[in-house]
């Protein structure tokens, strides 16, 4: 073998080793920080407070960092709280759920977070893993199939009504009809 071929092969091998070492160092320095909960980090959030007769009820929609993914949060502290776990009928841009039960928190307020994807966390080795859900979290990808992520495609309309033990709570200004929440996507996503 010629000396020039050996020198070229040694050069290629040294460049390859340096690039692998550099990529490992960059991943260790920045990778875990970038990957940690990247799926749950909201880029934009909107909250729609519902003006119930007594209590505090709100619906929030988060546009998550991962394009096309959302988190929908329903917080309820209203007249049905005394009945126990409150259920909600929900229609999200034409996709409906007839029976979703909110989770009662220690302070008796009720909460539910619905994700459009499975939340992930990064373990100590820098590997992304599926995160175990809290009792008040669910994943329902199909609920978000008509969701609007970019402003040029329209708005998100969420229609909902709360019920427990045969009692209903809707919009008191609209003869107890369903609440209608409108969420407009941000312009800069």
Radius of gyration of the chain (CA): 24
pLDDT at 93: 96
CA 1 to chain centre: 60
180: CB partners within 8 A, 6+ apart: 157, 158, 159, 171
**pLDDT digits over 65-105, tens only?**
888 899 999 999 988 888 889 999 999 999 999 889 999 99
pLDDT band at 126 (very low <50, low <70, confident <90, very high): confident
- Closest-CA residue to 63 (of 40, 31, 89, 97): 40
- Confirm if 98 and 185 have CB atoms less than 8 A apart: no
User: pLDDT higher for 166 or 158?
Assistant: 158
pLDDT at 59: 96
**pLDDT digits over 8-65, tens only?**
777 777 766 776 666 655 555 544 444 444 567 899 999 999 988 788 999 999 999 8
- Please give the class, per CATH, of domain 42-183: mainly beta
pLDDT at 34: 42
Query: Rounded CA gap, 56 and 69, in Å?
Result: 27
Query: Rounded CA gap, 159 and 151, in Å?
Result: 20
- Confirm if 14 and 149 have CB atoms less than 8 A apart: no
**pLDDT digits over 129-149, tens only?**
888 999 999 999 999 999 999
Can you give the pTM of this predicted structure?
0.77
Q: Where are the domains of the chain?
A: 42-183
pLDDT higher than threshold 60 for residue 2: yes
Query: Rounded CA gap, 87 and 85, in Å?
Result: 7
Residue 102, classified by CB atoms within 10 Å of its CB into exposed (0-12), middle (13-18) or buried (19+), is buried
| Count of C-beta atoms within a 10 Å radius of residue 35 | 17
What is the SS3 assignment for 48? Answer: strand
């Amino acid at each position: 073998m010629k000396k020039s071929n050996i020198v070229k092969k040694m050069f290629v091998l040294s460049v390859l080793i340096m690039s692998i070492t550099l990529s490992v160092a960059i991943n260790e320095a920045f990778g875990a920080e970038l990957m940690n909960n990247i799926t749950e980090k909201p880029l934009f959030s909107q909250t729609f407070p519902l003006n119930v007769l007594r209590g505090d009820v709100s619906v929030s929609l988060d546009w998550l960092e991962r394009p096309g993914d959302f988190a929908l949060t329903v917080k309820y502290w209203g007249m049905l709280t005394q009945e126990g776990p409150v259920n909600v009928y929900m229609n999200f841009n034409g996709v409906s759920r007839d029976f979703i039960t909110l989770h009662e928190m220690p302070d008796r307020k009720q909460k539910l977070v619905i994700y459009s994807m499975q939340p992930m966390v990064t373990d100590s080795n820098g590997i992304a893993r599926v995160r175990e859900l809290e009792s008040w979290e669910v994943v329902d990808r199909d609920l978000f199939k008509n969701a609007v992520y970019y402003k040029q495609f329209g708005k998100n309309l969420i229609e909902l009504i709360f019920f427990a033990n045969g009692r209903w709570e809707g919009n008191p200004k609209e003869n107890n009809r369903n609440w209608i929440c409108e969420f407009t996507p941000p312009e800069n996503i």
